[in-house]
Amino acid sequence: MTKHDNLIGADWISFGNYQDNINPSDVSDVIGAYSYGDNESVNAAVEAAKAALPAWRDATPQARHDVLDAVGNTIAARKDEIGRLLSREEGKTLAEGIGETMRAAQVFKFFAGEALRQSGDLQASVRPDIDIEVTREPVGIVGLITPWNFPIAIPAWKIAPALAYGNCVVLKPADLTPGCAHVIAGILNECGCPAGVFNLVMGRGSVVGEALISHPDIAAISFTGSVATGQHIAETCGRLRKKVQLEMGGKNPMVVLDDADLSVAVPACINGTFFSTGQRCTASSRLIVEAGIHDAFVDEMTRAMKALNVGNALDQATQIGPVVDARQLNSNLEYVEIARGEADEVIGGERLELADNGFYQAPALFVGTRNDMRINREEIFGPCGSIIKVADFDEAVAVANDTDFGLSAGICTQSLKHARAFKRKAEAGMVMVNLPTAGVDYHVPFGGRKGSSFGAREQGRYAVEFYTTVKTSYVYAG
């Protein structure tokens, strides 16, 4: 079996402990063995980053651009190979795996451009003969902790801005899906990223992640994952005065009004609720439907959901791949049982036994639910959607906002008046009109409100807020 080691400085290093990377479509398919690090691994990675930081911080924008642009080009050229690896280790369909890989390539190329577009402000002083410059500088060494559900896109949108703005990086990818992060590390190395500027330490969050967030020489932590872990990281970073950026859960509403075009609304809801096996923090988990269209919507959603093909992620006919692992599948099935006691009707949701021995689940609709039920308060993170009937637009908005989360929100309507009002009133970081709540562009800010996000936005030009610190300089010419 192929063994994959950690990248620290210029060297690929094994720490002796390997864990198999299993294909959730077929558990007999072992992708490889990946070396897991520990506290000493993190210490070594941080020392390598400290040694590399002065030269990278002072490198020209062109030097940073060239590395990131080359990485983007290389990922794009290898999209089929990397996309297949992604689908094998995470369970996304092959089309989704290749699509996510291309998004990672686009992210690197976007931030290659941002490396050349760094700017500041020249301001007039209220005092005579004094000039003021406001500039941005890298924060230093950044610890990145990424989740299993987007194993190449999320590492890319953290790594690329960190490097573009002159920081050095220690990345801890999810222990379930280390393969794509390992590939990125290799590509950065091949594309001329100086030794120590980027370091990869794979392993458990409780070990490697904890060592990262508590290390005194790491200036900032960017984390995507669960709410509980995010809260712990926020508390630790606050106590240690580290800069922190958190992307956590979602319980995203999709409102369907009486005037919605079902030929638009149903595909948007099917995509947002079930694609990527529902394993997206932006998934449409609460479908809030106005009474007049409710029954027709339920009928069309049920028909479309039952037509979805669940199967091996590498099969071209598959529309919904497996759940990522047994623990997540069991959690999903527990929520289906909870729904049987809460909802008026549960359609689908059962475990599927297919020819390939994987973690398969039929998509589920929970019909006749209320917003105060557990299935509508807690993030399930699987192919499950609840339908909540409401009387009118005002009740739809109130229900949409009645949640601890605030990442993404959507509305399907042909009314410009209601679309405009919903964009203003939705308590979410991102709002979609006649589009799935999941699926965003790589060059604009990503993030939410309330329990979904904390700190500066990710992606686009807004990423500069987290990965740099502002310096104000005064000069008296005499």
Helix, strand, coil percentages for the chain (3-state, nearest 5): 40, 25, 35
**Which residues does 290 contact at the CB level (< 8 Å), separation at least 6?**
255, 256, 257, 258, 389, 390, 391, 392, 393, 396
Q: What amino acid positions are annotated as catalytic residues?
A: 247, 281
DSSP state of 205: I
Maximum Cα interatomic distance, the chain, rounded to a whole number of Å? 82
Q: Which of 218, 232, 206, 219 is nearest to 39 (CA)?
A: 206
Helix residue ranges, H only, 11-93: 39-57, 61-77, 79-90
Q: Look up residue 388 and give its amino acid.
A: I
What secondary structure does DSSP assign to 211-247, as a single string?
HHHH-TT--EEEEES-HHHHHHHHHHHHHHT-EEEEE
Q: The dihedral of CA 300, 303, 306, 309: what is its sign? A: negative
| Residue 201 Cα to chain centre, angstroms | 19
